[in-house]
Structure 1
């Protein structure tokens, strides 16, 4: 029983240090449309650091009210909402297909949310 309590305490400590992972969400969108990736944070206070990545590359970052985005592939396509932590990609293309992740870093820990984005062929207009 004592060993179980010790193991439980260690697991709680590790969870607080490593962060919270809700699992990966799959998002499908038509080429040319916009998509919003929403980490669904329930308690953003404004003192968080929000870091969005495409694969291993940082594509958008918000720290202390400053939003950074300098990736050529995403130039003029990204909008980061510092209130919700959501990232909107406008005029999405097949080159934007892949794995996205957001780290929301607070003094109380880090929350990680991941997305797999797929892009389908463009809409035809008649």
Structure 2
């Protein structure tokens, strides 16, 4: 629903020391966020795609789940989560 928040769950309860996570959006696989436990780094790219995600992305450092706040129709689309070599896809539709 427009204006609410949605969490795309990684289904992890806790990331392991060697886990790498990357979230991507859309047909161009635009990077939204990533966590690399080996280097203890976490990055959120919320200024991509003309700023449609600016100040709206929350990445859970423990689980790797991604929350999008104050969603709009611009956030409708395909989201891809890659955990190490495993890929999980989400389709988000905002009304």
Please indicate, yes or no, whether the TM-score normalized by the shorter chain is above 0.5. Answer: yes
Q: Which residue of 2 aligns with 1:111?
A: 86
- Looking at structure 2, the residues matched to 42 and 81 of structure 1 have their Cα atoms a distance apart, in angstroms, of 11
Q: Deviations over 1:67-92 (max 9, x none)?
A: 22222221111111121110000001
Q: Which residue of 2 aligns with 1:61?
A: 34
Kindly indicate whether the alpha-carbon contact (under 8 Å) linking 2:23 and 2:33 is maintained by their aligned counterparts in 1. yes
Shift of 1:65: 2.8
RMSD: 1.5
Q: Kindly indicate whether residue 57 of structure 2 is the aligned counterpart of residue 78 of structure 1.
A: yes
**TM-score relative to the length of structure 2:** 0.82
Alignment gaps of 5+ in structure 1 = 1-29, 121-126
The match for 1:47 among 5, 18, 34 is: 18
**TM-score relative to the length of structure 1:** 0.63
- Looking at structure 2, the residues matched to 94 and 65 of structure 1 have their Cα atoms a distance apart, in angstroms, of 33
Alignment gaps of 5+ in structure 2 = none
Q: Kindly indicate whether residue 69 of structure 2 is the aligned counterpart of residue 90 of structure 1.
A: yes
Q: Which has the higher helix share?
A: 1
Shift of 1:46: 3.3
State the secondary structure of the residue aligned to 1:95. Answer: helix
Q: How many residues align?
A: 87
